[in-house]
Amino acid sequence: DAGITQSPRHKVTETGTPVTLRCHQTENHRYMYWYRQDPGHGLRLIHYSYGVKDTDKGEVSDGYSVSRSKTEDFLLTLESATSSQTSVYFCAISEYGVREKLFFGSGTQLSVL
Amino acid sequence: KQEVTQIPAALSVPEGENLVLNCSFTDSAIYNLQWFRQDPGKGLTSLLLIQSSQREQTSGRLNASLDKSSGRSTLYIAASQPGDSATYLCAVPRSNDYKLSFGAGTTVTVRA
């Protein structure tokens, strides 16, 4: 299994509070992605990174920011959490973007009350 | 815009039966196509990746075919087992920016 660790695994927070999710990889892959998975919407890309300090928006990036200061870490921040951001968040990695297989972490279940 | 559809949404079969899962996409100018498996409460595991130049890809009991011109891929799972019970998703890169578009998945139950 690819070495991807997401933390925390579960989090409950209140509306309006900031939240940071962490993705850590030991594979030295260039590309890292944040997805959210919701019933009825499937998997949707939030942000992705193609190198240290190189990031770009996905299809549902509003309300989210990311940072990648090291190859192995990709952080997703909800500046002011809303109930609509209750979801399961997955991190994924790949060496050559979508030209090869993506490897996913185990996910973070986030509940915003 | 690339749209990916998987039909049926759910499938229940007795153990030993062969499984046929379908994936269709609207933009045939794809780079490749991936099939994933997701177990409840878990992340996705990539099963097979078919390059656009390939017609099929095989791994053990799994075989995936690709017909770009008709916008379809099929995942075959031979001699199904209860351990094959999971949700299977397909994904293709969008032609304009190469980000993946996922289907909603087919949830498979294999009855012992």
Q: Is B94 exposed, middle or buried (0-12, 13-18, 19+ CB in 10 A)?
A: buried
pLDDT of residue A96: 85
Query: Rounded to an integer, what distance in angstroms lies between the CA atom of residue A45 and that of residue A111?
Result: 19
Q: Is the Cβ pair B93, A45 closer than 8 Å? A: no
Query: Rounded to an integer, what distance in angstroms lies between the CA atom of residue B74 and that of residue B66?
Result: 7
Tell me: pLDDT of A2 over 70.
Answer: no
Tell me: pLDDT of B97 over 70.
Answer: no
| Pairwise pLDDT comparison (A77 vs A98), residue with the higher score | A77
- From chain A, pick out residues whose CB is under 8 angstroms from the CB of B102: 42-43
- From chain B, pick out residues whose CB is under 8 angstroms from the CB of A100: 49
Tell me: pLDDT of A71 over 80.
Answer: yes
| DSSP E strand stretches across chain B | 4-5, 10-14, 19-25, 32-38, 44-51, 56-59, 62-67, 72-77, 86-93, 100-102, 106-111
Query: What average pLDDT does range A75-104 have in this prediction?
Result: 94
Cβ-Cβ pairs closer than 8 A, A with B, add up to 46
Q: Which of B43, B93, B99 sits opposite A107 (nearest CB)?
A: B43
Tell me: pLDDT of A19 over 70.
Answer: yes
- From chain A, pick out residues whose CB is under 8 angstroms from the CB of B49: 100-101
Chain segment B50-61, per-residue pLDDT in tens: 999 999 999 999
Query: What average pLDDT does range A80-90 have in this prediction?
Result: 97
For residue B26, give how far its alpha carbon lies from the nearest alpha carbon of chain A (Å). Answer: 17
Which stretch of A74-83, B22-31, B61-70, B81-90 has the lowest confidence by average pLDDT?
B22-31
